[in-house]
Structure 1
Amino acid sequence: MNIIQKTDDELLEIAIPMWDDLIKYSNKGQYGKFIRNFSYNLLLGLNEVEVGKQFAKSELTRSLSPDYDVLGFIRRGEHVSCLFRVRSTKKEGEWLGRMVLGYEKGEVKIFAASVF
Protein backbone atom coordinates (compact mmCIF):
# COMPACT_ATOMS: atom_id res chain seq x y z
CA MET A 1 0.00 0.00 0.00
CA ASN A 2 1.14 3.54 -0.71
CA ILE A 3 0.90 5.76 2.36
CA ILE A 4 -0.59 8.63 0.33
CA GLN A 5 -3.77 6.55 -0.02
CA LYS A 6 -4.46 6.77 3.72
CA THR A 7 -7.06 9.22 4.99
CA ASP A 8 -6.09 12.12 7.24
CA ASP A 9 -7.53 10.26 10.25
CA GLU A 10 -5.50 7.14 9.44
CA LEU A 11 -2.38 9.26 9.05
CA LEU A 12 -3.01 10.97 12.38
CA GLU A 13 -3.16 7.57 14.12
CA ILE A 14 0.29 6.80 12.74
CA ALA A 15 1.96 10.22 12.84
CA ILE A 16 1.02 11.50 16.29
CA PRO A 17 2.67 8.70 18.31
CA MET A 18 5.78 8.93 16.15
CA TRP A 19 5.96 12.73 16.49
CA ASP A 20 5.36 12.47 20.25
CA ASP A 21 8.31 10.07 20.50
CA LEU A 22 10.55 12.40 18.48
CA ILE A 23 9.73 15.28 20.84
CA LYS A 24 10.14 13.17 23.98
CA TYR A 25 13.47 11.65 23.01
CA SER A 26 14.83 14.89 21.56
CA ASN A 27 14.09 16.64 24.85
CA LYS A 28 15.79 13.84 26.78
CA GLY A 29 18.74 13.69 24.38
CA GLN A 30 18.21 9.95 23.92
CA TYR A 31 19.65 9.48 20.44
CA GLY A 32 19.08 5.71 20.23
CA LYS A 33 15.39 6.04 21.00
CA PHE A 34 15.06 9.19 18.87
CA ILE A 35 16.10 7.33 15.69
CA ARG A 36 14.31 4.02 16.30
CA ASN A 37 11.61 4.63 13.66
CA PHE A 38 13.95 6.11 11.05
CA SER A 39 14.23 4.51 7.62
CA TYR A 40 17.41 2.68 6.72
CA ASN A 41 18.43 5.35 4.20
CA LEU A 42 17.88 8.14 6.72
CA LEU A 43 20.03 6.30 9.25
CA LEU A 44 22.78 5.88 6.65
CA GLY A 45 22.80 9.60 5.99
CA LEU A 46 23.02 10.65 9.63
CA ASN A 47 26.27 11.53 11.25
CA GLU A 48 25.86 10.33 14.84
CA VAL A 49 28.52 12.74 16.11
CA GLU A 50 26.82 15.76 14.51
CA VAL A 51 23.38 14.73 15.75
CA GLY A 52 24.86 14.25 19.22
CA LYS A 53 26.32 17.77 19.09
CA GLN A 54 22.91 19.13 18.10
CA PHE A 55 21.29 17.42 21.08
CA ALA A 56 23.98 18.78 23.39
CA LYS A 57 24.13 22.37 22.08
CA SER A 58 20.68 23.25 20.76
CA GLU A 59 18.37 24.71 23.34
CA LEU A 60 15.44 24.22 20.96
CA THR A 61 15.97 20.49 20.43
CA ARG A 62 16.03 19.98 24.19
CA SER A 63 12.99 22.15 24.99
CA LEU A 64 10.27 21.18 22.51
CA SER A 65 6.81 21.54 23.98
CA PRO A 66 4.63 18.42 23.90
CA ASP A 67 1.76 20.77 23.02
CA TYR A 68 1.72 21.27 19.26
CA ASP A 69 -0.78 21.74 16.46
CA VAL A 70 -1.19 19.46 13.47
CA LEU A 71 -1.25 21.71 10.41
CA GLY A 72 -1.93 19.02 7.83
CA PHE A 73 -0.43 16.62 5.34
CA ILE A 74 1.22 16.93 1.96
CA ARG A 75 1.08 13.79 -0.17
CA ARG A 76 3.64 13.28 -2.91
CA GLY A 77 4.93 10.16 -4.60
CA GLU A 78 5.31 7.45 -1.97
CA HIS A 79 5.64 9.77 1.03
CA VAL A 80 3.52 12.01 3.21
CA SER A 81 4.88 15.12 4.89
CA CYS A 82 3.21 15.69 8.24
CA LEU A 83 3.34 19.36 9.28
CA PHE A 84 3.16 20.64 12.86
CA ARG A 85 3.23 24.03 14.62
CA VAL A 86 5.80 23.54 17.35
CA ARG A 87 6.67 25.63 20.39
CA SER A 88 9.49 25.59 22.90
CA THR A 89 9.24 25.54 26.66
CA LYS A 90 12.21 27.95 26.83
CA LYS A 91 12.23 30.05 23.65
CA GLU A 92 9.61 32.49 22.40
CA GLY A 93 7.89 31.90 19.08
CA GLU A 94 6.73 29.07 16.86
CA TRP A 95 8.51 26.66 14.53
CA LEU A 96 7.45 24.43 11.70
CA GLY A 97 7.89 20.74 12.40
CA ARG A 98 8.03 18.33 9.49
CA MET A 99 8.07 14.56 9.51
CA VAL A 100 8.07 12.56 6.27
CA LEU A 101 6.52 9.10 6.44
CA GLY A 102 6.52 6.22 4.01
CA TYR A 103 6.70 2.45 3.83
CA GLU A 104 9.92 0.48 4.10
CA LYS A 105 9.66 -3.32 3.97
CA GLY A 106 5.97 -3.15 4.88
CA GLU A 107 6.41 -0.85 7.90
CA VAL A 108 5.81 2.87 8.21
CA LYS A 109 9.14 4.61 8.79
CA ILE A 110 10.37 8.19 9.16
CA PHE A 111 12.23 9.33 6.04
CA ALA A 112 12.94 12.88 7.29
CA ALA A 113 12.29 14.96 10.38
CA SER A 114 13.08 18.58 11.15
CA VAL A 115 12.06 21.63 13.11
CA PHE A 116 12.76 25.01 11.55
Structure 2
Amino acid sequence: MNIIDLTDDEILNGAEPMWTELIRASNDGEYGKFIRNFDYSLIQGLNEVEIGKQFAKSELTRSLSEVYDYLGMIRRGEHVTVLYRVRSTKKEGEWLGRLVLGYNDKGEVKIFGASVF
Protein backbone atom coordinates (compact mmCIF):
# COMPACT_ATOMS: atom_id res chain seq x y z
CA MET A 1 0.00 0.00 0.00
CA ASN A 2 1.13 3.57 -0.67
CA ILE A 3 0.35 6.24 1.92
CA ILE A 4 -0.57 8.76 -0.77
CA ASP A 5 -3.60 6.60 -1.58
CA LEU A 6 -5.12 7.20 1.88
CA THR A 7 -7.63 9.97 2.45
CA ASP A 8 -6.60 13.16 4.24
CA ASP A 9 -8.61 12.06 7.29
CA GLU A 10 -6.91 8.66 7.40
CA ILE A 11 -3.50 10.29 7.20
CA LEU A 12 -4.34 12.90 9.83
CA ASN A 13 -5.59 10.21 12.23
CA GLY A 14 -2.05 8.82 12.27
CA ALA A 15 -0.15 12.09 11.88
CA GLU A 16 -1.74 14.07 14.72
CA PRO A 17 -0.62 11.80 17.59
CA MET A 18 2.87 11.54 16.10
CA TRP A 19 3.15 15.32 15.73
CA THR A 20 1.94 15.91 19.28
CA GLU A 21 4.44 13.37 20.60
CA LEU A 22 7.26 15.08 18.68
CA ILE A 23 6.34 18.45 20.18
CA ARG A 24 6.19 17.07 23.71
CA ALA A 25 9.46 15.16 23.36
CA SER A 26 11.15 18.22 21.87
CA ASN A 27 9.93 20.44 24.70
CA ASP A 28 11.14 17.91 27.26
CA GLY A 29 14.43 17.21 25.44
CA GLU A 30 13.71 13.48 25.41
CA TYR A 31 15.63 11.99 22.49
CA GLY A 32 14.24 8.47 22.89
CA LYS A 33 10.66 9.64 22.73
CA PHE A 34 11.50 12.11 19.96
CA ILE A 35 12.70 9.36 17.60
CA ARG A 36 10.21 6.67 18.66
CA ASN A 37 8.19 6.79 15.41
CA PHE A 38 11.10 7.55 13.07
CA ASP A 39 11.91 5.17 10.25
CA TYR A 40 15.18 3.34 10.76
CA SER A 41 16.71 5.09 7.74
CA LEU A 42 16.07 8.47 9.40
CA ILE A 43 17.47 7.34 12.76
CA GLN A 44 20.69 6.22 11.06
CA GLY A 45 21.18 9.72 9.68
CA LEU A 46 20.67 11.45 13.03
CA ASN A 47 23.32 12.26 15.57
CA GLU A 48 22.06 12.01 19.15
CA VAL A 49 24.71 14.44 20.39
CA GLU A 50 23.77 17.09 17.81
CA ILE A 51 20.07 16.73 18.56
CA GLY A 52 20.89 17.00 22.26
CA LYS A 53 22.73 20.25 21.58
CA GLN A 54 19.74 21.55 19.65
CA PHE A 55 17.42 20.66 22.53
CA ALA A 56 19.78 22.42 24.95
CA LYS A 57 20.52 25.57 22.94
CA SER A 58 17.39 26.27 20.93
CA GLU A 59 14.69 28.10 22.83
CA LEU A 60 12.24 27.26 20.04
CA THR A 61 12.74 23.49 20.22
CA ARG A 62 12.02 23.60 23.95
CA SER A 63 8.97 25.89 23.78
CA LEU A 64 6.73 24.59 21.01
CA SER A 65 3.04 25.08 21.66
CA GLU A 66 0.85 22.01 21.52
CA VAL A 67 -1.75 24.25 19.88
CA TYR A 68 -1.04 24.21 16.15
CA ASP A 69 -2.96 24.54 12.89
CA TYR A 70 -3.10 21.93 10.15
CA LEU A 71 -2.33 23.65 6.83
CA GLY A 72 -2.42 20.89 4.24
CA MET A 73 -0.67 17.93 2.65
CA ILE A 74 1.68 17.33 -0.21
CA ARG A 75 1.71 13.87 -1.76
CA ARG A 76 4.82 12.78 -3.64
CA GLY A 77 6.09 9.33 -4.53
CA GLU A 78 5.65 7.07 -1.51
CA HIS A 79 5.47 9.85 1.10
CA VAL A 80 3.07 12.48 2.25
CA THR A 81 4.16 15.72 3.88
CA VAL A 82 1.78 17.11 6.48
CA LEU A 83 2.19 20.84 7.10
CA TYR A 84 1.37 22.70 10.32
CA ARG A 85 1.47 26.31 11.54
CA VAL A 86 3.41 26.16 14.80
CA ARG A 87 3.86 28.71 17.56
CA SER A 88 6.12 29.00 20.56
CA THR A 89 5.12 29.54 24.17
CA LYS A 90 8.11 31.91 24.57
CA LYS A 91 8.89 33.45 21.18
CA GLU A 92 6.61 35.62 19.08
CA GLY A 93 5.73 34.59 15.55
CA GLU A 94 4.81 31.51 13.60
CA TRP A 95 6.82 28.65 12.12
CA LEU A 96 6.13 25.99 9.52
CA GLY A 97 6.07 22.44 10.83
CA ARG A 98 6.72 19.57 8.42
CA LEU A 99 6.04 15.90 9.04
CA VAL A 100 6.93 13.40 6.29
CA LEU A 101 5.16 10.04 6.58
CA GLY A 102 5.35 6.79 4.66
CA TYR A 103 5.26 3.04 5.07
CA ASN A 104 8.43 1.25 6.15
CA ASP A 105 9.53 -2.22 4.97
CA LYS A 106 7.27 -3.81 7.60
CA GLY A 107 4.16 -1.98 6.40
CA GLU A 108 4.08 0.43 9.38
CA VAL A 109 3.53 4.16 9.04
CA LYS A 110 6.73 5.89 10.15
CA ILE A 111 8.25 9.36 10.14
CA PHE A 112 10.73 9.90 7.31
CA GLY A 113 11.33 13.58 8.08
CA ALA A 114 10.32 16.23 10.59
CA SER A 115 11.25 19.86 11.02
CA VAL A 116 10.13 23.26 12.24
CA PHE A 117 11.41 26.26 10.35
Normalised to the residue count of structure 2, the TM-score between the two structures is 0.98
The 2-side partners of 1:57 and 1:16 are apart by 26
The 2-side partners of 1:90 and 1:11 are apart by 30
Structure 1 stretches of 4+ with a deviation exceeding 3 A read none
1:73 matched to which residue of 2?
Answer: 73
Report the alpha carbon displacement of residue 81 of structure 1 after superposing the two structures with TM.
Answer: 0.2
Report the alpha carbon displacement of residue 14 of structure 1 after superposing the two structures with TM.
Answer: 0.5
1:28 lines up with 2:43 in the alignment: no
1:113 matched to which residue of 2?
Answer: 114
1:55 matched to which residue of 2?
Answer: 55
Question: Residue 83 of structure 1: SS of its match in structure 2?
Answer: strand
Question: Residue 22 of structure 2: SS of its match in structure 1?
Answer: helix
Report the alpha carbon displacement of residue 21 of structure 1 after superposing the two structures with TM.
Answer: 0.2
**Long gaps (5+) in structure 2:** none
The 1-side partners of 2:8 and 2:110 are apart by 17
Percent sequence identity over matched residues? 77
Report the alpha carbon displacement of residue 69 of structure 1 after superposing the two structures with TM.
Answer: 0.2
Amino acid paired to 2:43 = L
Amino acid paired to 1:99 = L
The 2-side partners of 1:32 and 1:9 are apart by 28
1:94 matched to which residue of 2?
Answer: 94
Amino acid paired to 1:34 = F
Amino acid paired to 1:107 = E
Normalised to the residue count of structure 1, the TM-score between the two structures is 0.99
**Long gaps (5+) in structure 1:** none
Amino acid paired to 1:28 = D
Question: Residue 106 of structure 1: SS of its match in structure 2?
Answer: coil
